[in-house]
Structure 1
């Protein structure tokens, strides 16, 4: 069920699609794979937010993508990435990966550890145009840069050391301690999606917890107050 308050619609984490295999435990904010809900097909250019936990040593074998911007946001563990561009990287918490699938790219993703699970958010964004040249970026954003403030992770211009994403959006993250707060002024004509990656917060007085998502389509000042240690993503979208 989607709850709503003035200008804000809440997508509760327990209402998401859920698949569980022996090695993968995944929650889908929007329709994905065998999970289909016509009421939740994405939000603006945001098409997928998958909350994935991958067992030690397991992962996704080589598979292909086209015409999608794919962002991986690491929460726990380490993920080994290989792709048809020749990229071979390990992604760890604090690091963010952007892969432009464009005209076509194949990649694999495996838990780099034989002992510890991986927890990540995989995000798909529709690009502003099709047929882009495939590309890859990966950057570390230290927790100190996110603590108590919104840190820009990705946007069209790659401002302030952010990743470049081929769409009119800005992606921010923040890390909060109990009783800490941040605000964000959403401008007229813009839209926002806020994803609670971990912890418990209130957003303009609405209680939210890990897994919840919020859609905003009015010009508002958004105030987040942490009730526990928390980590959030904010997408500012056209």
Structure 2
């Protein structure tokens, strides 16, 4: 399994009167049999939702569904009675388990909502659905990566049913950040916004990533990131 650069311009697209979405993997009407996910990752969508618009109520099961808020607000409600109002920097996790119905709405009449939604294959299909909201997770206050999701009990982190760990970073020019993988693990680097230069183990030259770009790692064990603008990204440690 090779290391792969996922260019933001190669993503699928859904554009309606209220939604502008980009799909890293096959989703909805975008169907590419070569892009069905990576390891536990199944869906990576970048969505911009116009003011006053919403996703109608729909059903999920099996997946851990994470929403990473970049701008605007989002109101959540579901069939298990959970309610949440998300703001920029927040991360929401719906562990769908045996099944749940939910709807998401942009409550602002005129301001768009910008988010990434990412689905992970989970390991508790017979468990009841679970809802979690982690405030300010995408604004760690330090260039050091912050652990925001883990399959175990961790302070100030979402608990996943998928065997995946997720870190969030936000940094600017003049800083440097490193990520490493243990033997037998796989990595995914998802740039949310901004521009970074990435030095990968055994790579001759740095690779520039911009918001929406990603790196899929199977053999590379170590990355060094140097933002050239204010930037935010996610690092996934995958089985």
TM-score, normalised to structure 2, is 0.93
Which residue of the partner structure matches residue 12 of structure 2?
17
Which residue of the partner structure matches residue 4 of structure 1?
none
Which residue of the partner structure matches residue 177 of structure 1?
172
The question of whether the paired residues in 2 share the 8 Å contact of 1:186 and 1:218 is answered with no
1:48 to 31, 43, 68: 43
Which residue of the partner structure matches residue 116 of structure 1?
111
Which residue of the partner structure matches residue 168 of structure 1?
163
Which residue of the partner structure matches residue 152 of structure 1?
147
Which residue of the partner structure matches residue 184 of structure 2?
189
Please list the CA deviations of residues 65-98 of structure 1 after superposition, one character each: whole Å capped at 9, or x if unmatched. Answer: 1111100110000000000111111111121111
Superposed CA RMSD: 1.3
User: Are residue 60 (structure 1) and residue 55 (structure 2) matched?
Assistant: yes
Q: CA deviation at 1:147?
A: 2.8
The question of whether the paired residues in 1 share the 8 Å contact of 2:89 and 2:139 is answered with no
Q: CA deviation at 1:144?
A: 5.4
Aligned residue pair count: 232
Separation in 2, partners of 1:117, 1:155: 30
Q: CA deviation at 1:167?
A: 1.4
User: Are residue 86 (structure 1) and residue 87 (structure 2) matched?
Assistant: no
User: Are residue 131 (structure 1) and residue 126 (structure 2) matched?
Assistant: yes
Please list the CA deviations of residues 112-166 of structure 1 after superposition, one character each: whole Å capped at 9, or x if unmatched. Answer: 2112100000111010242221110001135652531111111101323200010
- Paired residue secondary structure (2:140): helix
Which residue of the partner structure matches residue 69 of structure 1?
64
152-161 or 198-207, larger mean C-alpha shift: 152-161
Q: CA deviation at 1:39?
A: 1.3
Separation in 1, partners of 2:139, 2:97: 33
- Paired residue secondary structure (1:154): strand
Q: CA deviation at 1:180?
A: 1.5
**1:50–1:142 Cα change, 3 Å:** closer
Separation in 1, partners of 2:68, 2:62: 20
Unaligned runs of 5+ in 2: 200-205
